[in-house]
Amino acid sequence: MEINMTIQDLGYNDNFEKLRIDNNLEGFEIGRVIAQHRERYIVKNEKGEFEAEITGNLRFTAKSNIDFPAVGDWVSLINYEADFAIIHSILPRISVLSRRAVSKFGELQIIACNIDYALIVQSVNRDFNINRLERYLTLCRASKIEPIFVITKTDLIDEENLNDLLNKIKIRVKRVPFVHVSNETQAGMEELKKLLYKGKTYCLLGSSGVGKSSLINSLSGENRMKTATISESIDRGKHITTHRELISMANGAILIDNPGMREVGITDSSSGLESTFERIYDLAQNCKFTDCTHTSESDCAIKAAIENGQIDRSYFENYLKMEREKEYYESTVAEKRKKDKDFGKMINHYKNTKKSNKY
């Protein structure tokens, strides 16, 4: 445990203290979930790190996986033992970064909670994909989390090609700060460190092999995260991180690492889409028809903007793809709610019938 560490060093502030008081939790110890391994948690506060489980009541009342603790959550604790505690409740979350759960019908998967900034990490080699950058950006803006693009492995590319890549980002994405770094040469690392503020929580987002673990080692000045060498055959680092983990940086910032995500499923993030694709929403107001789909209608402002080069066609196509995903997710959620409601009615009918037969 760090010397003289306080829960403020883990990101606790007046907002969370107010939530603690408003929820009548003054009599409980408070800690932050720094790691999760299925239904076992590691919680940290000024007294140290504790392995923890949730109460039976918290488990029983949970309606879905979002009602369980996640990395970044502040929780109230009971039944302290040497290195073990019970999680009594979760403080209301200030922000929740989530995606559509992979292969699960109409469900969300929480990535991390109570995040201030997201470091969206891509490397200059095969991983680089602006469409995916926009996906991560949509998730962040839907959660009111400030995004920062971090382009890694710049030692693998010459200056001309690097500038070409950065210009592609500038054309597609507006008003998002970005830095380019090399974990090998440390180029750009000091510039990135200036964006990490004491007491603020950052989340690392990116695919496997983009250098997130190496980035943590560079930012912390310690060899905290295991890394693997780059495969020459595919020009990509091996994936190491297998779980979410919260790490305190030397300058007082808090960093949450995540496993690499192959899929970044869009949910009901209308606000995120509107912010990421703001130019499309603004132009759409000039379409002749209010219900214009921007595909075959006449006098479509979007089609005209694509034809005259005002917006990039791939930018619009990525918007359409994510809009369809959002609509599909919303329909699956509605269908799931209907099934749950119908099942509840069936159970109640069974109970009432059984009670009537008894008498």
Three-state secondary structure call for residue 297: coil
Percent of the chain with pLDDT over 90: 35
**pTM of the full predicted structure?**
0.78
Separation CA 352–CA 39 (nearest Å):
35
Left (φ > 0), alpha (ψ -120 to 50) or beta: where does 38 sit? left
Give the alpha-carbon dihedral of 242, 48, 50, 241, to 10 degrees. 0
- Summarize pLDDT for 290-311 with one digit per residue, the tens: 888 888 888 899 999 999 988 8
Q: Which residues contact 16 (CB under 8 A, 6 or more apart)?
A: 30, 74, 91, 94, 114
Assess whether pLDDT exceeds 70 at residue 13: yes
Q: How far is CA 289 from CA 226, 300, 322, in A?
A: 55, 8, 22
pLDDT of residue 239: 39
Rounded Cα gap, residues 331 and 60, in angstroms: 27
In the predicted structure, residue 123 carries a pLDDT above the cut 70: yes
pLDDT tens-digit profile of 66-100? 899 999 999 999 877 778 999 999 999 999 988 76
Report the percent of the chain where pLDDT is more than 70: 78
Asked if the model's pLDDT at residue 237 lies above 50, the reply is no
What tens digit of pLDDT does each residue of 307-358 get? Answer: 998 888 999 999 888 888 877 777 766 565 565 555 555 556 545 665 666 5
Residue 345's SS3 state is helix
Alpha-carbon Rg for the chain, nearest whole angstrom, is: 23
Mean pLDDT of 103-113: 73
Lowest-confidence pick of 5-14, 55-64, 178-187, 320-329: 320-329
Supply the mean pLDDT for the chain.
81
User: Bigger pLDDT: 236 or 294?
Assistant: 294
- Give the sign of the dihedral formed by CA 322, CA 324, CA 327, CA 330: negative
Region of poorest pLDDT, from 120-129, 133-142, 148-157: 120-129
Q: DSSP states of 99-134 as a string? A: EEPTT-TT-EEEEEES-SEEEEEEESSTT--HHHHH
Band of the pLDDT at 109, cuts 50, 70, 90?
confident
